[in-house]
Structure 1
Amino acid sequence: MKKELLFVFLIGFVFKISAQGVDPLITKDFEAQEIWVNTILNKMTIDEKIGQLFMVQAYSNLDQKHEDFITELITKYHVGNLIFMQGTPEKQAALTNKYQAASKVPLMIGFDGEWGLDMRLQNTYRFPWNMTLGAIQDNTLIEKFGEHLGKHCNRLGIHINFAPVVDINTNPDNPIIGNRSFGENKENVTQKAIAFTQGMQKYGVMANAKHFPGHGDTATDSHHTLPVLNFDKARLDSVELYPFRKVFDAGIGSVMTAHLSIPSLEPNVALPTSLSKNVVTNLLKYELGFNGLIITDGLNMKGAANYATSAEIDLAAIQAGNDLLLIPQNVPATTNLIKKAIELNTLSIAQIDFSVRKILKAKYWMGLNTYKPIVLKNLQEDLNTIDDELLHRKLVKNSLTVIKDNKQNIPLANLENKKIAYVNLGDDSGDYFLDMLKNYTKVDAISDDNLDKLILKLKPYNQVIIGFHKSNLNPWKSYKFKEKELVWLQEIARQNNVILDVFTSPYSLLQLKTFTKIEGVIVSYQNSKLAQELSAQLIFGAFEAKGKLPVSIGKEFRVGFGIHTNSLGRFEYTIPEEAGLSSKKLAEIDRYADTILKDKMAPGFQVLVARNGKVVYQKSYGHHTDKKSLKVKNSDVYDLASLTKILASLPLIMKAEEEKVISLSASVKDILPSFNNSNKSGVSVMEILSHYGKLKAWIPFYKDTQDSSTHKNLPLFYGDKQSTVFDVKVADNLYIKNSYKDSIYKHIKDADQRDKKGYKYSDLGYYIFKEVLETAYHKPLNKLVDEEFYKSLGADRMTYLPLEKFNKAEIVPTEIDDYYRNQLVHGYVHDMGAAMMGGVGGHAGLFANANDVAKIMQMYLQKGSYGGRRYLKEETVDKFNHRYYSNQKVRRGLGFDKPELNSGATATCGCVSDESFGHSGFTGTYTWADPKSGIVYVFLSNRVYPNANNRALIRSNVRTKIQKTIQDAILD
């Protein structure tokens, strides 16, 4: 009679539960699932059934003793589930295979990976914390995040990931949830939890809603004590329970019961909710109708462990209605106590069977009915993919949140008017942030131990960026300002135009009593390398700000607030795949680099590749010289030689043509009257720019200032000290007569022309253009191009006369000159003619790093605009990027070099489009842009070191071979 009554009770019990909600553990092939479950369950002994209730913690970084202990639990006590903790993926995979082989029933492997496997395992991928994700407005990205975690878990043999956290963090002082929550808005938390769940469960990895019934509004940590929530049922129902209901409806497979004291749900305030039948059975199962796996929070946590002995706690958890005991502390004792409870009728075998059936159904859902060992090969590669990096970048980029921009200063525009300082507050590094800021313009790091001295140092600056950097080691690290930092922040803001960027929890801003003097505030959420780099890019307008606050900052900035900023069309700095290029293919550039260095084609060089406005490859190789005392850095500047023509003279000529200062059809006599009676008077501007004007290639002006027999510089022309007569500096301790410029122009004017028209590359026309531009605009060429282009472009690493701007260690030497200057040419232009004109030539004299060369080329590629400014009209760029003498076999456009007209030439790799353009330089420099592919390529070297006879780089065509590699790397 008792058995019959028990059966009737169980049928009613099951019906009552299933009637209230869908069963997330049922598979499409439920008939096969039932057969598999029943076959196993019917063969189980009571000990084997009890063993299925345990999920024991296993480590992959411990010794053999631990491995033997876990193996014994599986073989002797029939433990059916493991949760892996710290270690490495390789060892975890090997141990999983070992433990699975020892188990009669496939083990369910659990893992606590809220932000990825990195939460527990070394050398695995780390995605952002939930608080960061809470700022994202596009929930399809959260679903993608879930998919990636699902793939990772699946690959590592993990069947259930204890995520997402669905706690609504309404308490800023919460010590354990905080950054692990999606925020304080219940709808936002819910939608993101659902998106994550659907993404992860799509890959057969069960999600877990935690921590039921809600751990978000606590000020204590259940790892250490039992937190108390003194809310009535109505409050709990409308806030804490809301996301659980929704994720249950959406089909989440499991839930984790928390160790909390909630008097309105469980009158016994000492009884944790995880052990309360009122909470687990009556509320979770009956009222909310949840039919999935119910798993306790870690039973080693003080919130539960302080209640009774470990075995008593485990038994209470099962009696309360939990299915799985997470991290039980004494399996043998618990097994004995459960068996005793069955004997005493305080726990029924039917309840055990009910939970075991659910566990087995879950295992079938996870695919354990067709279990296969983990393949160990390529594990590391599969857990750290390019796709992971691409998603990570999207997540961080979409999270960045601008919450104040009083002066509409974000993004920073009009760089020509900005003098920018960076100040680091906090206890962690902001080096990645600073380095990325410097990619856009000159930014000085200013620091001092004394506030007054710091304020004094900041006086010359009209824009101060303050980065507040806190440890990114884990989400529980302190996010707070020190009192000293709060004082410093307000004082700096009182006297300066400030953008504050916080690389930590938005709750840090609650400490600020006022934001009145702070013009701009950005929340970047974490101090990761990627967050620092992307936030710097946001500040300069590489992309839009789209994030919204996931929590409120007092009454000043409410949850859901965020200012949308615009993109200014400046470079993004990212990985190749985000621009449709292959990282693997671009890595072949390293092979060419090895050859260049090994064969001494150049002591060092820089390579930059950008596509569609994204810099995807920026690397420096080798050293400044063969002495190998200084490695080449991305910030180092090279002598660009003839790249000067298209990076300095040409943009000014294009501007002058737009302003009708120079006409392309004009003759030399029209633009430079002093050449009126010369043999060049009728040569047109278009002919000169196309190298079709019968001009000689070059004139070695310096030879006319030397003794013809000794080749020594004549005292008539040179002095070793600056004076009123010898006023033009050529190199160290070498000054030429200031009047010799007139002699140079006379040489050009009187020089013979070639007999007939035809293509001949010549420098001479750019001497003419220099004179014309300086006369028309009443400024030296170097100042003119700096003011009109470089300053506003943020090309602070591009300049004439680099010694006036840079430390010598930042300038790569060019040649050991034994024929004219008789010294190492270091910081002075290599070209002799440009040197004789004081280092500023229309054809040579410009120095830069690859990054700033790329900015000009990108401006051309964007048809004259960059950084939110239009420098040139679209039609002007098209006009100059056109061949006018192709019928005469001239490949060049106006100023620009163009692809060869036949396969015999080597201006390019022969693989770029006909719309492409660029230039090369004598010192071993090269740059090219292709509107069709969107590629900008820069190669800078000092191949003339130790001397100009080193032509190996030119003979090898390695620069265009690298160009071919870049073209081959295009994926779309």
Structure 2
Amino acid sequence: MHHSFLRIFIFFSLAIGVCNCASKKEVNAKPVVNTIDTIHEFKQNEIGKSTVSRKEKFPFLKDSDGESKWVDSIYGKMTLDEKLGQLFMISAYSNKDSVHFNMIDRMIRNYKIGGLIFFQGGPGRQARLTNRFQSKSKIPLFIAIDAEWGVSMRLDSTYRFPWNMTLGAIKDKELIRKVGTQMGKESKRLGINFNFAPVLDINTNPKNPIIGFRSFGEDKVNVTSSAIALMKGVQGENVFSTGKHFPGHGDTETDSHYSLPLVNFTKERLEQVELYPYRQMFDEGLVSVMVAHLNVPSLEPRDSYPSSISYNVVTGLLQKEMGFDGLIFTDALNMKAASNYRKPGEIDLEAFLAGNDMLLCAEDVPTAMEKLCVAYQDSLFSEERLAYSVKKILKFKYKAGLNHYKPINTANISADINPSENTALQYQLYENAITVLKNKETLLPIKSIEKTRIAYVKLGDDNNTSFVSTLKKYTEVTEIADANIDSLNVKLKNFDLVIVGFHKSDKAWKNHAFSETEIQWVNQLALQNKVILDVFTKPYSLSAIPDFSEIEGLIVSYQNSDIAQEVSAELIFGAIDAKGKLPVSISNDFKVNFGLPTEKLDRLGFTAPENVGMNPKILAKIDSIAQKAIDGKMTPGAQVLVARKGKVIYQKSFGYHSYDNVRKVQNSDVYDLASLTKILATLPNVMQAYDKGKVTLDTKLGVMLPVFANTDKKDIAFKELLSHYARFEAWIPFYKSTLDSNKIPMEKYYRKVPDEVFSKQVADSLYILKDYNDTIMKAIANSRLLPKKEYKYSDFTFLILKEYLEKINHKTLDVQAYENFYRFLGANNTLFNPLQKFVKTDIPPTEVDKYFRHQVLQGYVHDMAAAMEGGVAGHAGLFSNAMDVAKIMQMYLQKGHYGGHTYFSEKTFNEFNTCYFCAEGNRRALGFDKQQLPGTQGPTCGCVSASSFGHTGFTGTYAWADPETEIVYIFLSNRTYPDASAPNALSKNNIREDIQKVIQEAIIK
């Protein structure tokens, strides 16, 4: 207790300036340092002998005239206290209270410290504190941070880049340089001068408790090239990089935060491995080095003597032998590997005598200053030695621009350090990092989704939402779970493939290992099923699995971030190919630098707008337009999707299913597509028939269907039919003739309960005669033709084409659409009569029908004629969500190809996407709608290309694709709810067209 009070008294006495170096000199006090074993001679001309070439190669390392004048001017005016204070960089936190902040104020005021290293907190708080502390310092402070994966390593509300081990899997080092650039930008914006990164430790020991994922890996060449790339990015933003932990912390089994690790290698081995990246980094312009607390007997003969305070290591090896002339930091001196060895103050003095320039995180700055002061008075180090470090510190303060220090502008700081391009880069990083280790019989990517029943099983204790939701965007994937492995395997018997996702926390220093139970489950699952194991954690986790022979597919996705999950799902289905290589060895089968390539299929993937040349800020305007429609009650809700160059870059849902605001619209909900049915169900099957030569552009309607053979419509050509140039009426309200005077369905045509005669369902508890379709076709055959040939949009075309397809293929249209297209496309949410598969709550209602069916239409087609055909018609009846519609439109954009499957020839697509009657004022292609002709109204913003195509739907739907810009745009809504006869405000306000205009404006020229 006595010692504790004495220590507190000394601390506060020093804090108010009771002791100072000048008074010590005057009384010629005896040194208080009595634990220093050796006093080393300092000769400045022996240091940095080989650095002339560094300064010539990197101009920013040169000593300019202005720099030298500033440094000499400042140094010449400094007291001994101020010089000694520059050696210290102390810990600061922006998440602590005023007691902490006031303490730092005192340290700046009374001890003239040289810098701060910030730890936990937030960006805005840290920026404000930096301004506060800088304002109190006579000489601007260095501001540093450990930002190995960005400032998010320490600060909340900031962007987290991947760990170094994830980056180590990437072969394209330019991507890692881009990471460094983004890290540099965020540090610069926060007033940070030093990023204590990159980690240069070569992690050859899988049991390393403190480095591990912080290392780029175990291959010294890969570690070095990755670190150089990161450093160049950071330093390119005038933020200094610090290589650590010298001379190498990679092959240890002890955490230096708690005790002193042993590195028991020969000098030759250290030269070959641990020191290799440092020599290369010095030649590339590394500004600073952090020296670790390690016991390295081959470099320092004294037993258990930390490298951070070893003259042999810091001066003899780092500066003299390796020629490093940059700034040298100790690792934190409050770490047990250091603090256990010497008392506060003593460790700081020894670190300085060893040759370090800046003393990081001293436990007791007042005591350390006192020790240094006394040592100076007793000539344990010279003025020359002190000047060498202090002037070096000042020199780099000048290089950092601190000679013209300006406070940080705190306005918009959060937005500035979280730019959207970070997300764009993150996609690229995982696309290049995720590594395939096994691919038996080229299981990856999964090609034949039409005949593969897929289950997903989760292991691990962290979130898997993005992975599962993205898997389900490609095909049907069933989540299976059970607390018992035997019961689980029973449930999996009906599946052809099991995807096992191992999801562990994406937070640093969490447990990422498989449990014993999970290892047993992996083995049991692999024995009884065809398994793809995808691990969302560091690759070392796989070391616990003794045998991979029964696993067909093995993927390392490295981290459990949302983007990692999304990209990994893309790889499984071939939207991207595998490029990553293992940064470390896992077993004899999977050595460092191993990684299998996979095939890339032409399926839709996912990315950030910038990666396909789109401006996300402009694209974000879609939100306000869509919300305008919701707020204006133009539609209760909507889905919007935008894809470019085969990548979905925008997919959002807005509003609710209805105006009661109960059920929010989800991306997975299925909408009544109305007339989009024409190009999404009927037309692709017509194109296949055309591709097979079953019909030509000149084939006559009378030949196609006998019902028209003896009518005035018999000579209508196929080309005219599909171009809405056949003189047909727009439509006939077929349903009206089946209602009584009270607008009630007559028993002559309908029943409430189905039977063999009344088997086609029109709506809930309403069934029509099964052969009423014949009546509809006869009505069309007997309908009047318009007096002159001109463009007239008509539903008759696709009612006829459905009849034709069913006649030649002997299958109903819904079956044809599924068997020929949807099952191959993975469009499993696209179907007629969706209540066969979905519950009502997944389907937004389309209308409150008061004129025919007298009920809320939810899951039943709104279009009356389509309803009378049992929900399956050529012009309407299809339900889907935006993602599935995009797949079909992407297939068109790729001219009949998608997912490695060919549906029809490119020639066929080109012929169907041709406007044959534009000269006559008819903009239509064969089935497709086209951009409006000059001077006319039409379906687009007027800003898409002439080669673009698509369609609109009465319920407020829209699908458009543009081959020139490679853009697919989908808008789905239920604007007809509750009253389909109400004015079409969605159309009058140009909501869909305005969104399309924004999409075009977002293209980066």
**TM-score with structure 1 length normalisation?**
0.97
Are residues 48 and 182 of structure 1, via their aligned partners in 2, closer, same or farther at CA, if it must alter by over 3 Å?
A: same
| Alignment partner, residue 914 of structure 1 | 946
Residues 779/224 of structure 1: CA separation in 2 closer, same or farther (3 Å cut): same
Alpha-carbon distance in structure 2 between the residues aligned to 1:149 and 1:600: 44
Q: Name the residue aligned to 2:670.
A: 637
TM superposition shift of 1:755: 2.3
Residue 872 (structure 1) aligns with: 904
Distance in 2 between residues matched to 1:382 and 1:733, nearest whole Å: 58
Map of 1:328 onto structure 2: 362
Provide the residue aligned with 1:264 in structure 2.
298
Asked if the contact 2:721/2:797 (under 8 Å) is kept, the reply is: yes
Q: Could you tell me which residue of structure 2 aligns to residue 538 of structure 1?
A: 571
Q: CA deviation at 1:497?
A: 1.6
Matched positions, count: 965
Aligned in 2, Cα 1:7/1:233: closer, same or farther, shift over 3 Å?
closer
Residue 122, structure 1, aligned to residue 149, structure 2: no
Residue 967 of structure 1 corresponds to which residue in structure 2? Answer: 1000
**Does the CA contact (< 8 Å) of 1:404 and 1:521 recur in 2?**
yes
Q: How big is each residue's C-alpha offset from its partner over 1:74-101, in whole Å with a ceiling of 9 and x where there is no partner?
A: 1111111111111111121122122222
5+ long unaligned stretches in structure 2: 1-38
Alignment equivalent of 1:69, drawn from 95, 103, 119 = 103
1:462 equivalent in structure 2: 496
> Is the 8 Å Cα contact of residues 896 and 903 (structure 2) preserved in structure 1?
yes
Q: Structure 1 residue 933: deviation in Å?
A: 1.8
Offset at residue 586 of structure 1 (A): 2.2
For 2:458, what is the secondary structure of its paired residue?
Answer: strand
The SS at the match of 1:480 is coil
Match of 2:418 among 370, 374, 384: 384
Identity of matched residues, %:
53
Shift of 1:551: 0.5
Q: Which stretch has the larger CA shift, 643-652 or 247-256?
A: 247-256
Q: CA deviation at 1:578?
A: 2.1
Alignment counterpart, residue 806 of structure 1, candidates 835, 838, 844: 838
* Residues 147, 200 of structure 1: 8 Å contact kept: yes
1:15 Cα offset (Å): 7.0
Please give the secondary structure, in 1, of the residue aligned with 2:502: strand
Counterpart of 1:821 in structure 2 is 853
Matched, 1:881 2:875: no
Equivalent residue number for residue 612 of structure 1: 645
Q: Give the whole-Å Cα distance in 1 for the aligned partners of 2:763 and 2:896.
A: 36
Q: Which amino acid aligns with 1:732?
A: D
Q: How many angstroms apart in 2 are the aligned matches of 1:641 and 1:116?
A: 49
Is 1:602 the counterpart of 2:635? The answer is yes
- Residue 110 (structure 1) shift: 1.1
Tell me: CA distance 1:31–1:712, structure 2 relative to 1, closer, same or farther (3 Å). Answer: same
- The correspondence of residues 292-371 of structure 1 with structure 2, limited to 5 A, is 292-371=326-405
Q: Which amino acid in 2 is paired with 1:304?
A: A
Task: Give the corresponding residue for 1:244.
Answer: 278
CA distance in 1, matches of 2:394, 2:927: 74
Alpha-carbon distance in structure 2 between the residues aligned to 1:132 and 1:34: 42
2:47 touches 2:320 (CA, 8 Å); kept in 1?
no
Q: Deviations over 1:163-198 (max 9, x none)?
A: 000000011111110000000000000111111112
Q: What pairs with 1:52-63 in structure 2 (closer than 5 Å)?
A: 52-63=86-97
* Separation in structure 1 between the aligned mates of residue 786 and residue 234 of structure 2, nearest angstrom: 73
Per-residue CA shift, 1:440-460, capped at 9, x if unaligned? 121111111111221122122
Work out whether residues 668 and 681 of structure 1, in 8 Å CA contact, stay in contact via their aligned partners in 2.
yes
Tell me if structure 2 keeps the 8 A contact 1:903–1:910.
no
Task: Say which SS state the counterpart of residue 214 (structure 1) adopts.
Answer: coil
* TM-score using structure 2 length: 0.94
For the Cα contact (< 8 Å) 1:25–1:358, is it kept in 2? no
Task: Name the amino acid aligned to 1:820.
Answer: F
**Residue equivalent to 1:564:** 597
Contact in 1 for aligned 2:206/2:540 (Cα 8 Å): yes
Pairing partner for 1:273 from 307, 312, 332 = 307
Once residues 355 and 711 of structure 1 are traced to their aligned partners in structure 2, the CA distance between those partners, rounded to angstroms, is 96
Deviates most, 513-522 or 744-753: 744-753
1:234 corresponds, among 259, 265, 268, to: 268
Q: Of 144, 158, 161, which aligns to 1:110?
A: 144
Deviation of residue 965 (structure 1)? 1.9
* Partner SS state of residue 695, structure 1: coil
Q: Would you say 1:132 and 2:142 are equivalent positions? A: no
Query: Does the 8 A contact of 1:726 with 1:738 survive in 2?
Result: yes
Give the structure 1 partner of residue 214 of structure 2: 180
CA distance in 2, matches of 1:857, 1:352: 71
For residues 511-550 of structure 1, the aligned pairs below 5 Å read 511-550=544-583
For 1:692 and 1:191, how far apart are their aligned partners in 2? 65
Q: Distance in 2 between matches of 1:783 and 1:812?
A: 24
Q: Partners of 2:162 and 2:737 in 1: how far apart?
A: 67
- Give the whole-Å Cα distance in 1 for the aligned partners of 2:227 and 2:991: 52
Distance 2:95 2:552 in 1: 49
- Counterparts of 1:276 and 1:359, CA distance in 2: 21
Out of 779, 794, 801, which is 2:826 matched to?
794
Match for 1:651: what amino acid?
P
Structure 1 pair 328/843, CA: closer, same or farther in 2 (3 Å)?
same
1:784 and 2:820 are equivalent in the alignment: no
- Any idea what SS the aligned residue of 2:442 has? coil
The Cα RMSD (Å) is 1.8
Give the match for residue 435 of structure 1.
Answer: 469
> 233, 237, 250: which is aligned to 1:203?
237
* 2:741 maps to 1:724: no
Structure 1's 286 and 11: CA in aligned 2 closer, same or farther, altered over 3 A?
A: closer
Distance in 2 between the 1:466 and 1:218 partners? 33
From the superposition, tell whether residues 896 and 259 of structure 1 become closer, same or farther in structure 2 (CA, over 3 Å): same
Aligned twin of 1:81: 115
Q: Residue type of the partner of 1:714?
A: M
Among 143, 146, 154, the residue aligned to 2:177:
143
Aligned equivalent of 1:858: 890
- With 201-210 and 697-706 compared, the bigger mean Cα shift is at 697-706
Q: How many angstroms does 1:902 deviate by?
A: 3.0
SS in 2 for 1:459: helix
1:263-284 deviation per Cα after TM superposition (whole angstroms, max 9, x unaligned): 2222223211111122112221
Select between 15-24 and 347-356 the one with higher mean Cα deviation: 15-24
Residue 3 of structure 1 is matched in structure 2 by none
Decide which of 251, 255, 258 is 1:224's aligned counterpart: 258
Rounded Cα–Cα distance in structure 2 between residues aligned with 1:722 and 1:507 = 61
Instruction: Indicate the SS of the match to 1:820.
Output: coil
Question: Deviation at 1:16?
Answer: 5.1
2:584 and 2:624 map into 1 onto residues whose CA distance is: 49
C-alpha displacement at 1:29, in angstroms?
5.2
Instruction: Give the distance between the partners of 1:15 and 1:670, measured in 2 at CA.
Output: 92
Aligned partner letter, 1:704: S
In the alignment, the residues of structure 2 paired with residue 119 and residue 723 of structure 1 have an alpha-carbon distance, to the nearest angstrom, of 68
**Range moving further from structure 2, 746-755 or 925-934:** 746-755
Equivalent residue, structure 2, for 1:894: 926
- Give the deviation of 1:623 after TM superposition: 1.0
How do 1:421-820 and structure 2 match up within 5 A? 421-474=455-508, 476-707=509-740, 709-820=741-852
Deviates more, 1:293-302 or 1:349-358: 349-358
**Contact 1:472/1:528, CA 8 A, preserved across alignment:** yes
Which range moved further: 134-143 or 336-345? 336-345
2:175 and 2:867 map into 1 onto residues whose CA distance is 56
Deviation at 1:126? 1.1
1:718/1:726 contact within 8 Å kept: yes
> Which consecutive unaligned segments of at least 5 residues does structure 1 have?
1-5
Of 842, 849, 869, the match for 2:881: 849
Range 437-446 or range 330-339, more displaced:
437-446
